[in-house]
């Protein structure tokens, strides 16, 4: 080390150190893709070129990065292939140079690929399974680490954030990374939205995915209007059917014919008025719908047919 410092000093004395040193030397990393960025120091002439060197904590020797020897201002240096050991601590340094002129080196802070990289969100799908949700992580989410065995061998978890759409109630849970996970003990027929991120005890920089929403089971019919015409008919049919049964029972009992006829009349009048009420309700309801032009409703994933069309279809 001492020898190197001496040599460097000698070198600096031999060439004029009169260019401003670069600033903001930093390594940013997303999904293990490491990119070095820097800004030219204030007053740097536009024809200055920049050189990048790296060293690691094991060898402690500066090595010029091939392909990053003559960068112009604004260019970046791709260090992905150079920082291969995810556990090692790396430092980078950059300096400006021109014919017979160089600047001082400016260093980045120490960078450890494993802890400093930002992990992108998993790509996954959500589907309902009754009172549970099935979360299926797509292969592509994981294959981005294929090139690095060290990474793949780490213990990874996926953190899920589950939010009930109706009231925004939410909870988090961590599950070991699997292609398929199940979140159980949810309410059936209810919509939940789930976001996910990769996580490990050694890396807390994960980015959360967008929310993916799904019903645990098919949603219950929300728009009673759609089913109204059918239910009107069914109600009337049921009523008549029940009435018939009652009369059959009464017929077989020993009631006097006078009583029977009174009951018959009462029953018919009652039934008739019920049907009348239902029909009137329907007519009023339809007029209302036509007047106010209730718009078609969409219920998140499944488009529901419009109130109007469903009523018209019934006719
Ligand atoms: C360095 O970064 C800081 C903060 O991001 C910024 O304010 C400053 O302008 C940068 N310096 C140069 C020379 O670009
Ligand atoms: C950096 O290098 C890696 C590996 O060679 C490559 O996959 C990636 O696309 C490069 N990134 C940029 C921004 O050039
Ligand atoms: C660089 O240095 C050499 C030798 O010291 C000198 O001959 C040359 O003129 C210098 N060039 C510039 C551009 O200063």
Identify which of 21, 39, 50 to mutate to test ligand 1's pocket (most ligand atoms within 8 A of the CB). Answer: 39
Q: Are residues 40 and 104 in the same domain?
A: yes
Per-residue pLDDT of the chain (315 residues; tens, 9 = 90+): 555 555 555 555 556 668 999 999 999 999 889 999 999 999 999 999 999 999 998 877 999 999 999 999 999 999 999 998 999 999 999 999 998 899 999 999 999 999 999 999 999 999 999 999 999 998 888 787 777 788 878 888 999 999 999 999 999 999 999 999 999 999 999 999 999 999 888 888 889 999 999 999 987 665 544 455 556 656 666 666 666 566 667 666 666 777 777 777 887 787 778 778 777 767 766 665 554 444 433 334 333 333 333 334 444
Tokens representing residue 5 in the block? 């410092």
Scan for tokens 């690095």, then name that residue: 148
Q: Are residues 107 and 13 in the same domain?
A: yes
Query: Which has the closest alpha carbon to 162: 123, 201, 209?
Result: 209
The rounded Cα 90 to chain-centroid distance in angstroms is: 33
Nearest CA to ligand 3 atom 1: 100
Range of the domain at 91: 2-115
Nearest CA to ligand 2 atom 14: 78
CATH number at residue 173: 2.60.40.10
CA of 110 to the centre of ligand 1 (A): 19
Domain boundary among 80, 115, 150: 115
CA of 33 to the centre of ligand 2 (A): 7
Three-state DSSP string of 56-121: ECCCCCCEECCCCCCECCCCCEECCCCCCCCCCCEEEEEEEEECCEEECCEECCCECHHHHCECCC
Nearest CA to ligand 1 atom 5: 24
Q: Are residues 156 and 232 in the same domain?
A: no
Contact between residue 106 and residue 25 where contact means Cβ atoms under 8 Å apart: yes
Q: Are residues 89 and 172 in the same domain?
A: no
């Amino acid at each position: 080390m001492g020898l190197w410092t001496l040599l460097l000093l000698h070198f600096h004395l031999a060439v004029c150190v009169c260019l401003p040193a670069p600033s903001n030397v930093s390594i940013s990393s997303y999904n293990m893709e490491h990119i070095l960025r820097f800004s030219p120091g204030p007053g740097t002439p536009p024809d200055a070129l920049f050189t990048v060197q790296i060293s690691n904590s094991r060898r402690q020797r500066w090595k010029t990065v091939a392909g990053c020897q003559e960068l112009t201002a604004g260019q970046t240096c791709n260090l992905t292939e150079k920082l291969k050991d995810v556990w090692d601590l790396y430092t980078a340094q950059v300096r400006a140079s021109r014919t017979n002129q160089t600047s001082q080196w400016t260093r980045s802070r120490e960078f450890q690929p494993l802890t400093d990289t930002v992990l992108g969100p998993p790509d996954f799908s959500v589907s309902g399974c009754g009172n549970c949700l099935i979360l299926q992580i797509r292969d592509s989410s994981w294959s981005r680490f294929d090139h690095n065995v060290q990474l793949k061998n780490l213990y990874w978890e996926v953190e899920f954030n589950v939010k009930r759409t109706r009231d925004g109630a939410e909870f988090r849970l961590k599950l070991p990374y699997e292609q398929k996970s199940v979140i159980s003990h949810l309410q059936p027929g209810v919509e939940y939205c789930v976001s996910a991120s990769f996580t490990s005890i050694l890396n807390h920089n994960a980015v959360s995915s967008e929310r993916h929403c799904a019903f645990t089971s098919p949603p219950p019919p929300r728009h009673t209007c759609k089913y109204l015409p059918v239910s009107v008919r069914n109600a009337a049919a049921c009523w008549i059917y029940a009435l018939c049964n009652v009369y059959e029972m009464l017929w077989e009992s020993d009631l006097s014919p006078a009583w029977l006829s009174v009951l018959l009349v009462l029953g018919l009048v009652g039934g008739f008025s019920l049907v009348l009420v239902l029909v009137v309700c329907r007519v009023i309801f339809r007029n209302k719908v036509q007047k106010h032009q209730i718009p078609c409703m969409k219920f998140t994933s499944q488009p529901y047919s419009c109130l109007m069309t469903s009523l018209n279809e019934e006719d």
